[in-house]
């Protein structure tokens, strides 16, 4: 049976395993240091009160259709992954989904960090998100909306002091929508007042594990044969904002590619609305729509229910 090694148990890695096993029988080995998969796309729901933060955690030990190796991936040797404390794991294919490297003191992109931020939000009179990075960690805008929805009496503001043009094409249409919901938007730093919460939005970089790899935008295969790169790091290398919807697109694309080669001996994928390589403007317009709509919390709840009852359940 074909062995596929997946590095990273986040959104991209888990969705890839789910889609692959829908298409073909394979032995999937998942390398992830955490004991839980975190459905981080749903963090705004927890801020909005639709679910508890702990409901975003899914124990990897319950995913019976994958083999969980709880360790850190340190380096890549061809189709072998060198681990921190265990022997290397090799496969016929390697799919790298390690996420991205975040630089900053606020960790709203994981459940533990989001809980800490929530505790501070509850106590604050006003909440100010300060964006002063070339490539900010996307997701702050949906958290801001969730906070304003749950606490309409609190002042919530976003300060775009500095941000790259690639991010502005996403944020500009969203800002008009956000202002209509009562979120203040400014290009100036906020004035500091006692009792207010100031959140400096961290920056994001490609993960060091994949620093030397470049994905083919058509298949996400790197310059190493049968080694693929998906998720936040891949999106950054393609010049796209690292958002969860993009990671899902890549995971589905690579699952098709790997399954096709296993069953037919050649790679064949079906392009869809996610395909940035075939129509960049269409892809940008689609992303703009997602950002403009703010990914309403009720839509996130629907995705969460699908994730829990279909993706996770299928792998269990």
Closest-CA residue to 289 (of 165, 186, 181, 169): 169
The pLDDT of residue 274: 43
Residue with tokens 């975040």: 102
Beta strand pairing status for 89-90 and 80-83? Answer: antiparallel
Q: Which residue, of 188, 203, 218, is where some domain finishes?
A: 203
Q: Looking at residues 262-290, what average pLDDT do you find? A: 61
What is the C-alpha separation between 32 and 183, in angstroms, rounded? 37
The pLDDT of residue 103: 83
Q: Looking at residues 8-31, what average pLDDT do you find? A: 97
Q: Say yes or no: 149 and 267 in one domain.
A: no
Range of the domain at 126: 111-203
Q: Say yes or no: 227 and 147 in one domain.
A: no
Long-range CB pairs of 302-311, under 8 A, 24+ apart, other chains included: 303/41, 303/42, 304/39, 304/41, 304/42, 304/45, 304/51, 307/39, 307/42, 308/39, 308/58, 311/14, 311/15, 311/18
The pLDDT of residue 238: 87
What is the C-alpha separation between 233 and 140, in angstroms, rounded? 19
- The per-residue DSSP string of 17-70 comes to HHHHHHHS--EEEEE-SSSEEE-GGGHHHHHHTSS-GGGGEEEGGG-TTEEEE-
Q: 280 pLDDT exceeds 70?
A: no
Tokens of 171: 């944020």
Q: CATH number of the domain that 193 lies in?
A: 3.50.50
Q: Say yes or no: 88 and 154 in one domain.
A: no
Q: Looking at residues 127-143, what average pLDDT do you find? A: 84
Q: Say yes or no: 193 and 243 in one domain.
A: no
Phi and psi torsions of 161, nearest 5°: -70, -40
pLDDT in tens, 42-88: 999 999 999 999 999 999 999 999 999 999 999 999 999 999 999 99
Q: Which residue, of 174, 203, 232, is where some domain finishes?
A: 203
Looking at the DSSP bridge assignments, the partners of residue 229 are: 96
Most trustworthy range by pLDDT among 65-79, 234-248, 260-274: 65-79
Q: What are the C-alpha distances in Å from 278 to residues 32, 218, 255, 315? A: 33, 8, 19, 32
- Which of the two residues, 242 and 210, has the higher pLDDT score? 210
Determine which helix (DSSP H) or strand (DSSP E) holds 197, and give its type and residue range.
Answer: strand 197-200
Q: Say yes or no: 195 and 208 in one domain.
A: no
Q: Say yes or no: 85 and 224 in one domain.
A: yes
Q: 282 pLDDT exceeds 50?
A: yes
The pLDDT of residue 221: 95
- Which of the two residues, 277 and 186, has the higher pLDDT score? 186
pLDDT in tens, 183-225: 998 889 999 999 999 999 888 889 999 999 999 988 899 999 9
What is the C-alpha separation between 216 and 229, in angstroms, rounded? 9
Q: Say yes or no: 231 and 88 in one domain.
A: yes
276 pLDDT band, cuts 50/70/90, is very low
The pLDDT of residue 244: 80
- Which of the two residues, 108 and 20, has the higher pLDDT score? 20
What is the C-alpha separation between 45 and 276, in angstroms, rounded? 28
Q: Could you give the number of structural domains in the chain?
A: 2
- Which of the two residues, 141 and 73, has the higher pLDDT score? 73
Q: Say yes or no: 153 and 38 in one domain.
A: no
Q: Say yes or no: 118 and 145 in one domain.
A: yes
Q: 295 pLDDT exceeds 90?
A: no
Tokens of 132: 């002063």
- The per-residue DSSP string of 86-140 comes to S--EE-SEEEE---EEEESS--TTSHHHHHHHHHHHHH-SEEEEEEESSSB-TTH
Residues in the chain: 316
Which residues, 6 or more positions from 133, have their beta carbon under 8 angstroms from its beta carbon? 162, 163, 201, 202, 203
């Amino acid at each position: 049976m074909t062995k596929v090694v997946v590095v990273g148990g986040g959104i991209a890695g888990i969705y890839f395993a789910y889609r692959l096993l829908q298409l073909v029988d394979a032995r999937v080995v998942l390398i992830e240091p955490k004991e839980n998969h975190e459905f981080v796309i749903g963090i705004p729901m927890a801020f909005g009160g639709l679910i508890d933060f702990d409901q975003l955690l899914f124990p990897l030990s319950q995913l019976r259709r994958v083999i969980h190796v709880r360790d850190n991936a340190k380096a890549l040797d061809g189709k072998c992954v060198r681990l921190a404390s265990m022997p290397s794991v090799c496969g016929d294919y390697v799919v790298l989904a390690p996420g991205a490297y975040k630089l900053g003191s606020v960790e709203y992109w994981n459940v533990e960090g989001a809980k800490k931020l929530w505790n501070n939000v509850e106590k604050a009179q006003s909440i100010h998100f300060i964006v002063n990075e070339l490539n900010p960690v996307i997701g702050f805008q949906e958290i801001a909306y969730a906070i304003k929805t749950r606490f309409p009496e609190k002042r919530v503001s976003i300060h775009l002091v500095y941000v790259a043009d690639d991010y502005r094409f996403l944020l500009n249409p969203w800002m008009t929508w956000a202002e209509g919901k009562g979120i203040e938007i400014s290009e100036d730093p906020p004035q500091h007042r006692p009792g207010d919460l100031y959140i400096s939005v961290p920056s994001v970089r490609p993960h060091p594990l994949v620093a030397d790899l470049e994905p083919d935008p058509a298949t996400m295969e790197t310059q190493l044969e049968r080694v693929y790169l998906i998720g936040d790091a891949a999106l950054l290398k393609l010049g796209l904002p690292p958002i969860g919807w993009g990671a899902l697109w890549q995971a589905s694309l690579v699952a098709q590619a790997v399954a096709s080669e296993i069953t037919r001996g050649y790679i064949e994928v079906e392009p869809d609305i996610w395909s940035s390589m075939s129509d960049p403007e269409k892809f940008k317009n689609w992303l703009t729509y997602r950002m403009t709509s703010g990914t309403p919390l009720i839509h996130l709840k629907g995705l969460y229910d699908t994730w829990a009852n279909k993706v996770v359940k299928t792998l269990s």
